[in-house]
Structure 1
Amino acid sequence: MSMEETIMTLVVKSGQARSAAYEALGEAKQGRFEEAQKKMQESAQWVMEAHDIQTELLVMEARGEMDQISLIGVHAQDHLMDCMLARELITEMIELYRALSHKKDKEDGQ
């Protein structure tokens, strides 16, 4: 795979991770916490794959196999960091939805 293809794969996998996390949030908003958990697991898998690519790129740079990073490389790193931050915040939001759901259940006598 060429350097450009590797970098674009990082962008795609990071985007998939972020999308799955937002889908999880949507499920949690509807009270479907099991589905939200599954989507977060899917997101985690995408992040792991993206992180592996990032590590590969860092190793290549450390070995001197990359002269300079391109703007698309910076963009790819930005995508990965964005998805990681989104996942952290969405995890917290899902927990808030879960707590609110439990509180409502108690108030409703369930």
Structure 2
Amino acid sequence: MSKPGEEIMEVVMTLIMYGGDARSSAMEAIAAARNNDFERAQKKLDGSVEAINKAHEIQTELLAKEADGQKVEVTLLLVHAGDHVMNAMTYHDLAEEITELYKRIN
């Protein structure tokens, strides 16, 4: 049985991990596009979306729990983890646009 707070810490760390993976993949997509490797850029963008979707599933589970009347412990760390995910989504969107720009330029 987990101690109080352990479950939310696992959620926090998982969200931060997926957010970091998504952001890194988006940055790698930009680097690949800069080098005219658009196939690799697309694979990295796809990886970014996959990580974002996994993070979103976790967030949706938390929302569903709360909507069902279960108490969800909202901590500053959880808010911080959510920021990581949102930041990753922004990086992904920009990486898509930058990749398209590199395609047009080249």
TM-score w.r.t. structure 1 length?
Answer: 0.85
Specify which of 18, 40, 58 is matched with residue 45 of structure 2: 40
Residue 3 of structure 2: aligned partner: none
Residue range with higher mean Cα deviation, 54-63 or 41-50? 54-63
- Does 1:22 find its partner at 2:21? no
> Deviation above 6 Å: which 4+ runs of structure 1?
none
Cα shift at 1:62: 2.0
How far apart are the structure 2 equivalents of 1:56 and 1:11? 16
How far apart are the structure 2 equivalents of 1:20 and 1:84? 11
- In structure 1, stretches of 5+ residues that fail to align are 102-110
Residue 13 of structure 1: aligned partner: 18
Structure 2 SS opposite 1:44 = helix
Identity between Structure 1 and Structure 2 (%):
43
Larger Rg: 1
Residue 82 of structure 1: aligned partner: 87
Q: Number of aligned pairs?
A: 101
- In structure 2, stretches of 5+ residues that fail to align are 1-5
